[in-house]
A and B are shown apart, each in its own frame.
Chain A
Amino acid sequence: MNVVSRGIKNAFRSPMRSGAIILMLAISIGLILSMLVARSSVNAKIDQVKSNAGTNITITPAGVFGFAGGGNNLTSAQVSQISKTAHITTTTAALNDQLASTDTNLTPSLTLGNFGARQARFESSSSNSSASNGGPTAAELASRPAPTPHTTVTGTTNPNSISTNGSNLSITNGATIDGNSSAYIALLGKDLASKNNLTVGKTFTAYGKTFTVNGIYTTGNTFQDSGIIMPLATVQNLTSQSGQVSSVIAKVDSSENVNSTVASLKSTLGSKADIVSQAQQAADSVSSLQSISGLALASVIGSAIAGAVIILLAMIMIVRERRREIGVIKAIGGTNRKVVAQFISEALTITVIGSIVGLTLGVLASGPMTSSLVSSSQNSSSSTQSGTRDSGGPGGAFLRGGFNRVSSNLTQVTSSITPQVFALSVGITLLIAIIGSAVPAWFIARISPAEVLRTE
């Protein structure tokens, strides 16, 4: 029977009270762990969003938005200017085109519907535009051939840029294509492929050439899944737009340089291009995550203080209650060191049991807690973001793919307990135990052995 075993034995002297103290301690330790997990997971997500999407700059010809508007495509000189700009690491250039029924043997998988019909209502009248300012009359509309939906072609140096979720383009069959080649190869969207009964290896005609289907892709976006992806040079050559592109996505080396790069691009390209950076968008998107991170940190500090106060008050209570007993131990020759060691071992026993229960609770609770924190804050912030997304005609989705993926990915914060986070919470727990025993130890040292002579 030594000091340590006496301390451990004392911890179970009053099982009900020790149980209550352990439970309170466990809750605060569990909260510490799950809040640390939430914080580190959210911080990891913020870093990921900032490093992935936050550094993209989209450059489009001035006045062009998807297939709407008007203006001149970017030239190869401008594209090389962009890629030479400081801090830009990679550029992905794309040229969009639409195939009418005369250009291809493919049947479009999209139907015009109300939306398409309205967009297409000017098409056939553009050559013989009538003098009347009131637009085409009912008779004129009737005399026109019925408009047909078009199939969108995207010539790109990087097929993965079509993906809407930030990761690589999902190829369901076959293989992706090399965006830098000029071969007659293509990736078909899932809907377009099934509409035309095309599979990998089959051929189709476009621009009077025979193309081979290299792969079938899916994005989950009906507009994208009804399109064709070809190498950029192929589209440029076949449409006689050599060197021209309708959009460039430039990636900046770090999020700090995005604003300065946007400024330098604006000065070199002048009024010929519209430049949109994701930095601001990403900052807006992660601001809610940052507030969760701050909240989680506050909770960690709060529960650490609560835990320390619980063990502190419990030990002070125990010391006060055992004043006489401490006096007896001192009177029969127990040194201050031995009495303090006994009480520290008692406090440690309670803390260790509390932390085992608490860390188990924390491991179980951290996942649901992180996701509920993130989803509730996203619900409140999504309403402010939705306004920036829904605008523009067909093809606009291409531009905004990057932005969409920022927002849609934010709710996918996965909580993971890393060894560092676990070690940190164990460290905080240990700190709690030290604080919880140091102050009572001071009280113990001040109890006089003459306490035994006091008669109650």
Chain B
Amino acid sequence: MLEVKNLTKSFDSPSGKVTALENVNISIKTGEFASIIGKSGSGKSTLLGVLGALDTPTSGSIKVDNVDISKLSANKQTAYRSKKIGFVFQQYNLIPNLTALENVMLALEFGGMPAGKRKSRAEQLLDEVGITPDEMLRKPTRLSGGQQQRVSIARALANRPSIILADEPTGNLDSKTGKMIFDMLHKLSRSENTTILAVTHDMDIAGKTDRTFTLVDGKIVA
């Protein structure tokens, strides 16, 4: 259960105070696949950052399983990110000098899994997203965009998070691969009962999610 109440985020910029998010209220049930659509500059990424505890809101509350994450200390927020949240980014954001396998194992290390169990768990996760054993030992630059995004999904799933936050997960992929990634996320939300919140500007994809929020100038309009 994700509950966002009266969330406001503003920055101080040279030209004065900029309000990126204004009084946002969202409620997403566990296992729901929701999407946020909006033009660039509408505050989508800011909302995702605040929800993922990458950034702190100016005011308001974000409750994940009844814990207000905006009130946590920096260390607790880091722990929250590692255990409760999985991120999938448009740029994949894999660590360039680690292999696909090591990238997933890194997330497992931060999640607190004992060193001995990490490798088999990472292999299992990568296998689930369709990465072959040969591809597991490759570095990100030697994988295609679709393969990289699948590795990043495996990484996001590593610590069995309650929410997966996806920032334009299909934005850098061709439509066929994008659909495959979308279907994979959709399947996960069903099989693992994981809440998924995806930011996108692709109306096609948004239309297939359980719920769609539209963000205009930092406000939810629908």
Interface residues of A (CB under 8 A from B): 1-2, 6, 9-10, 13, 324-325, 328-336, 338, 448-450, 452-453, 455
Contact = CB atoms under 8 A, between A and B. Distances in A.
B95 A325 contact: yes
B164 interface: no
Nearest to A335: B78
A453 B82 contact: no
A335 to B, nearest CB: 5
A331 B75 contact: no
A333 B81 contact: yes
A335 B75 contact: yes
A332 B54 contact: no
A334 B111 CA distance: 9
6 contacts: A332-B110, A334-B78, A338-B110, A449-B54, A453-B54, A455-B90
A398 B190 CA distance: 107
Contacts of A325: 95-96
B55 A450 contact: yes
Q: Which 9 A-B pairs rank lowest in CB-CB distance, beginning with the nearest?
A: A333-B82, A333-B110, A450-B54, A449-B54, A450-B55, A328-B93, A453-B45, A450-B49, A333-B81
Interface stretch (B62-70, B100-108, B179-187): B100-108
Nearest to B107: A332
Contacts of B52: 331
A448 B49 CA distance: 11
Interface residues of B, number: 34
B167 interface: yes
A453 B97 contact: no
Given A325-B96, A328-B95, 20 more contacts: A1-B102, A9-B97, A331-B52, A331-B87, A332-B82, A332-B107, A332-B110, A333-B78, A333-B79, A333-B83, A333-B111, A334-B106, A334-B110, A335-B75, A335-B110, A336-B78, A450-B49, A452-B87, A452-B93, A453-B167
B33 interface: no
How would you classify the secondary structure of chain A's contact residues: helix, strand, loop or mixed?
A: helix
A1 B93 contact: no
Nearest to A3: B109
B58 interface: no
B115 interface: yes
B126 to A, nearest CB: 15
Given A331-B87, A332-B107, A452 B75 contact: no
B165 to A, nearest CB: 10
B141 to A, nearest CB: 12
A332 B49 contact: no
A13 B95 CA distance: 12
B221 to A, nearest CB: 22
B196 interface: no
A9 B99 CA distance: 12
A145 B130 CA distance: 122
A331 B55 contact: no
Contacts of B219: none
A332 B104 CA distance: 10
Contacts of B55: 448, 450
Nearest to B44: A453
Given A13-B97, A450-B49, A332 B81 contact: yes
B91 interface: yes
A2 B75 CA distance: 20
Nearest to B92: A328
